[in-house]
Amino acid sequence: MSATSSAGTLTALQGAALYVGAVLGTGVIALPALAAATAGPASLLAWLALVLLSVPLAATFAALGARYPDAGGVSTYVRKAFGPHAAAVVGWCFYFAVPVGSPATAMFGGAYVASALGGGQSTVLITAAALIVIVTLTNLCGISLSGRLQLLLAALLVVLLLAAVTASIPHARLANLHPFAPHGWLAITRAAALLVWSFAGWEAISHLASEFRRPARDLPIAAGIAVAVVSVLYMSIATSSVMVLGPAGSTSNAPLAELLASGLGDKVRLLTAAAALLLTLGTMNAYFASAAKLGAALGRDGALPAWISAGSRVGDVPRRSLCVVAGLTVLALGGAAWTEIGPRPLVLLTTGSFVAVYAVGTAAALRLLPRGSWPHRSACIALVAVVGLFMATGWYLLWPLLMTVGALTYLRWRSTGVEASSP
C-alpha cells in the first residue's frame, strides 16, 4: 500500500514546523544543562551522536508515513509487520508516554516564567497547568488551526535560538571545555539516554501522515527540512551552553535565558520566558495532536475501548482521545507536584518508552520497506543505534514494560469478553 494523496490539509512547511516542535521542543531550553551536569563538556559528544542518529531515524519514519499514511502511525507499521499484539504494545507505549512527558515539558516552560517573575515552584505549576489547558483547547479546534499555529511557533523559535547563539558567542571560552570528561567517559552514555527526550519526535508526526495533502511527497520534504534545522540549532545551543556558561550552566533551570542574558543583559529574561512559553506550546501541541490521533486509531483497531475511536478518520477531530490525554496529563502533573519529584524522572520514563517505540518501529521498517532502498538502509543503521540507546536507558525501561503488560492484558480481557458474549 502506498499513497500519493489524501484528503488532509497539512502542507510540507506546516509538517516541518510540527516536526521541529516535536523534536526540538523543550529539549533545547532545559536539556543542555541536564546533560552537562551528567557528563560535563563531554556531553557534546552525546549531542553529536544523537544528531547523526536523527538522519536515519527521520528518513525511516518519513518513508513509512509516506507509504502507509494512517492515524495509527508506528502502531500501524508494527501491525503490518508483526501483528496486532505488537501493534497494541507500541501504541500503548507512545500514547501513555505523552501524559507522563507533558508535565515535564510544561514545567520546563514554567521554570523560565519563574526565573523571570519569581514565585518559585508555585509559578512553575500554575504555568504548567495553563499550558495544558491552552494546548487542549487548540487541538479541540482541529489539525488545520494546530498546523498554522505550529508554523508560527517554529519561526519564532528559530529566531530566538539564533539570537541566543549570536549574542553569546563573544563570551565563549575554550577554558570551559576543561576538564572535558569530569565524570568519566561512560557518563556520555548516560547523557545520551537523557537526551533521547530531545530527539524523540521523528516518529510522532507519522500519526498525522494521513492529514498531509500529499503524504508521499510532503512527509520526506518536511522531515528533511526539520533534520537540517534541528541539527544546526541543537549543536549550536549545546556548544554555546558549555563554552559560555561553563560549569555554572549545568545547575541552571533556564540555560537559554542565561545565554541571552550573557550577551544582552538581564532585561531579556522576560522576553526569554515568553519565548520559552511559545516553544513549550509548540512541543505540547505537536504531541497532543499526535497522541490524540493515535488513541482514536487504537480504539478503532481494538487496542483501546471502542468509544475512544471517534476522530480516527482523516479530517476528524479525535476529541475523546484528546480529553483522555489531557486528563491523564493533569493527573500526572498533580502527582509530580505532590511528590515534588521534579521533571527529570518524568523525562527518563518518557524516553524509556520512546526508545522502545523506536526499536520496534525500526524493526518493522526492515520488513516493510523495499530491500536495498535508502530508507531500508536507514532503518538498519537506526535499529543498531537504538539498540545501544535501549541498553543505556536502564531501569527506566520498566515503564514501557508496564505498558506492554497493560496492552497484552487488555487484549486478553477483550478477547475473553468477546468470546463470552458470542452465542
Print the SS3 string covering the chain. CCCCCCCCCECHHHHHHHHHHHHCCCHHHHHHHHHHHHHHHHHHHHHHHHHHHHHHHHHHHHHHHHHCCCCCCHHHHHHHHHCHHHHHHHHHHHHCCHHHHHHHHHHHHHHHHHHHHCCHHHHHHHHHHHHHHHHHHHHHCCHHHHHHHHHHHHHHHHHHHHHHHHHHHHHCCHHHHCCCCCCCCCHHHHHHHHHHHHHCCCCHHHHHHHHECCHHHHHHHHHHHHHHHHHHHHHHHHHHHHHHHHHHHHHCCCHHHHHHHHHHCHHHHHHHHHHHHHHHHHHHHHHHHHHHHHHHHHHHHCCCCHHHHCCCCCCCCCHHHHHHHHHHHHHHHHHHHHHCCCHHHHHHHHHHHHHHHHHHHHHHHHHHCCCCCHHHHHHHHHHHHHHHHHHHHHHHHHHHHHHHHHHHHHHHHHHHHHHHHCC
For residue 155, the model assigns a pLDDT of 74
- Integer Cα distance of 243 and 10 in angstroms: 39
For residue 419, the model assigns a pLDDT of 44
**Residues 72, 91: contact at Cβ < 8 Å?**
yes
Tens-of-pLDDT digits for all 423 residues of the chain? 444 444 567 777 777 777 777 677 666 766 777 788 888 899 899 889 888 888 888 888 888 888 888 767 788 899 999 999 999 999 999 899 999 988 988 888 888 788 778 888 889 899 999 999 998 988 887 655 555 666 676 677 777 778 778 877 888 888 888 888 888 888 888 888 777 766 767 776 666 677 777 877 888 888 888 888 888 888 888 888 888 877 765 556 566 667 766 666 656 667 777 777 877 887 788 788 888 888 888 998 888 998 998 866 766 778 899 999 999 999 999 998 898 887 778 877 888 888 888 889 999 999 999 998 888 999 999 888 888 777 766 777 788 899 999 999 999 888 776 544 544
Question: Domain ranges in the chain?
Answer: 12-412
What's the chain's length in residues?
Answer: 423
Say what angle helices 343-368 and 98-117 make with each other, to 10 degrees: 140
Spatial CB neighbours of 178, under 8 Å, sequence gap ≥ 6: 41
- Integer Cα distance of 212 and 344 in angstroms: 34
- Integer Cα distance of 123 and 115 in angstroms: 9
For residue 5, the model assigns a pLDDT of 45
For residue 165, the cross-strand partners are none
- Integer Cα distance of 44 and 42 in angstroms: 5
Count of other CB atoms within 10 angstroms of residue 123: 18
CATH homologous superfamily of domain 12-412?
Amino acid/polyamine transporter I (1.20.1740.10)
For residue 10, the cross-strand partners are 212
For residue 170, the model assigns a pLDDT of 81
- Integer Cα distance of 108 and 338 in angstroms: 17
Question: CA 282, 284, 285, 287 torsion: positive or negative?
Answer: positive
Type of residue numbered 308: I
Phi then psi dihedrals of residue 62, to 5 deg: -65, -40
For cell 469478553, name the residue: 417
Phi then psi dihedrals of residue 342, to 5 deg: 80, 175
Q: 257: which 3 cell numbers?
A: 535565558
For residue 265, the model assigns a pLDDT of 61
Type of residue numbered 307: W
- Integer Cα distance of 239 and 405 in angstroms: 41
- Exposure b/e, 366-390, CB count within 10 A at least 16 = b: eebbeeeeebbebbebbbebbeebb
For residue 417, the model assigns a pLDDT of 61
